[in-house]
Chain A
């Protein structure tokens, strides 16, 4: 399956600052990538679909100005959490889809906002 690399794996930032998370598809050209958020002991919740060369598609209830997504190339999508607050602390995971709906995930990024 596709190999997906996410960076950083952990980040701590101060309230009010912005944090950028990178998701790279290392062996597969991905026109679409997906960003998920996961709270402790909960399932993955889709935040947005990242589309190469066009605007991301956000799920209902996800603030697009808060979570900026850029998909500038077929191998890189970035998620920027702007003006971060403690409630934004979470585990963020990206994925690419290959073949018949099979999703392959990055290692995840643990964001802690203090």
Chain B
């Protein structure tokens, strides 16, 4: 099946710094989704991308849909302590003809030191 390679696996940064993480795939995705998961909670949708080359912002978050449709990145600017959590990229799997089954990256664990 489709796989998403997410990097880095973890990041330790100081408050105020910018952060960048990315996902790549060997196959094409038509949608890229970025989620954040706090400990003991379900993932929360941050940004959804639908068009190749699309650049979308949500507050301090910016994400881009790669032009080849095989990659996406998420940037967080001026990080704050509440940005701590695990960030996942995800895309709909093509297996079984369903566009709604999501494939997830392995996640990026972000730690922000005050």
Contact = CB atoms under 8 A, between A and B. Distances in A.
Interface of A: 1, 4, 6, 9, 32, 34, 41-44, 46, 49, 57, 91, 93, 95, 97, 100-108, 110
B104 A43 contact: yes
Contacts, number: 62
Interface residues of B, number: 26
A46 B101 contact: yes
B7 to A, nearest CB: 13
Contacts of B91: 101
B42 A43 contact: no
Interface of B: 31, 33, 35, 40-45, 48, 50, 88, 90-92, 96, 98-102, 104-107, 109
A41 B102 CA distance: 19
Contact of B43 (A46, A105, A110): A105
Contacts of A102: 33, 45, 48
Contacts of B90: 103
Nearest to B99: A101
Q: Which interface residue of B42, B98, B99 has the most chain A CB atoms within 10 A? A: B42
